[in-house]
Amino acid sequence: MDKCNDIVEKDKLVYSSAGRMPYYPLVIAKGQGALVEDVDGNQYIDMLASAAALNTGHAHPHIVAEITQQAQKFIHYTPAYMFHEPLVELAQELIDITPGSFEKRVVFGLSGSDAIDGMIKHARAYTGRSIIISFVGAYHGATYGSLSLSAISLNMRRKIGPIVPDMHHINYPNCYRCKYNLDNTTCDLECFKELEEALSNYIPIDNVAAILIEPIAGDSGVNEPPQRYLDKLYNLCKENGVLFAVDEIQQGFGRTGKWFSIEHFGIEPDIIVMGKAIASGMPMSAIVAREEIMHSLEAPAHLFTTMGNPVCCKAALATINVIKNEELIKQAEELGAYMKKRFEQMREKYEIIGDVRGKGMSVGVDLVKNRNTKEPNKEAAAKICYRSWEKGVIIAFIAGGVLRIQPPLVITKEQIDTALDGIEASIQEYIAGSIPDDVLNVAKGWTN
């Protein structure tokens, strides 16, 4: 680990402490498909896909070729002033693959965060209202607008002064840790009543521009809301002139076994925000929304010099082709179900696994101190994560004690088996007490 440690030490001398949540000192040298190699030549199976940004895997040859060819022609000319074909082609593709049989328009950005800010601007402009409602536990990004809609870490609020006003957060439905101790197949959606109560006491619905939800909530622990909850939320929006906006930045582009996770619920959102996997790791995001919403702002209300970069557009077009041609959505559904089943089998064996959740290749393994209290077991998650890395498997943990399992969709069944064997062996070693406490000084993950 000489070179890795050396680079990590140098990094400490030059890089911002606000910009990294460390899990272990992995210094990437190269990657191919679902495999990664570090600068010391160690091999890993990637079960994290760069935080769900690499659905097509590392260095996919078709995507690399498209990026290279475009870079040789021209790297950029800002679409704020001029036009280029890759942007038009990509916008059309996004209109075609997103749910919603109505006229849509697209705008590009550079990160999920700035696209969330764009959603806020357009929703406010279109409705003439200012309030946006999102959910406790959500991560929507780190720009002022997107962090104001996030509610996951106090470090995102400390020391930075006033945030964007008129952002309200309500509890996301959490069926595993139901506050009301109810069964979600028979309950009366008590959690939805929290929203109704807020709307009748301190959030005037006629001031609400949009409700923003992750149809499968990623960083808050891969939580899935009941269909009935989303139906009610959608109806509430439609009855009150509120826009229904979804954050698909983490779950989009085939990860859950559909192009976008909202499709599992059969709902056509007014606004879809996407990023991460859209261009296989190249910096790009997009908002796709009803035409009339997108036309509610005029330039220069939402533009960036390097938005819709043609190299990124070509990477995104190639990403969509690869997802289609290699049937990665089907692969996410089938191999994802296999992967989830194996974790469920582990749950039968190990008391510390309280719950296994998720769809397709977006799976959360919730580690608990006690199955009755369901208290999150962050120490177990940190140690298992670190030991898995030592065994050649890249994972992370979120929401206290949830192992985040989101491999590239191109991963093979054999690679999944090898990776899950490594994770299972790490769970056994944790239970046997053979993972030392000092790894907790390194494997910190999300902090508060």
Binding site for ligand PLP (CB under 6 A): 51, 111-113, 116, 139-141, 214, 218-219, 247, 249-250, 275-276
Q: Which is nearer to ligand PLP, 141 or 422 (CB)?
A: 141
Burial 12-47, CB ≥16 within 10 A → b, else e: eeeeeeeeeeebbbbbeeebebbbbebbeebebbbb
Q: Which is nearer to ligand PLP, 29 or 160 (CB)?
A: 160
Min. distance of Cβ 125 from ligand PLP in angstroms?
21
Q: Which is nearer to ligand PLP, 141 or 145 (CB)?
A: 141
Nearest alpha carbon to residue 378 among 401, 405, 407: 401
Q: Which is nearer to ligand PLP, 116 or 328 (CB)?
A: 116
Min. distance of Cβ 197 from ligand PLP in angstroms?
26
Instruction: For residues 155 and 82, give the distance between their C-alpha atoms in angstroms, rounded to a whole number.
Output: 40
Min. distance of Cβ 247 from ligand PLP in angstroms?
5
Min. distance of Cβ 371 from ligand PLP in angstroms?
28
Q: Do residues 80 and 303 make contact, with C-beta atoms less than 8 angstroms apart?
A: yes
Min. distance of Cβ 15 from ligand PLP in angstroms?
17
Min. distance of Cβ 436 from ligand PLP in angstroms?
30
Closest CB to ligand PLP: residue number: 112
Name the token pair of 19: 């910009």
Dmax of the chain from CA atoms?
62
Q: Which is nearer to ligand PLP, 111 or 296 (CB)?
A: 111
Instruction: For residues 435 and 247, give the distance between their C-alpha atoms in angstroms, rounded to a whole number.
Output: 37
Q: Which is nearer to ligand PLP, 218 or 376 (CB)?
A: 218
Q: Which is nearer to ligand PLP, 4 or 246 (CB)?
A: 246
Min. distance of Cβ 219 from ligand PLP in angstroms?
6
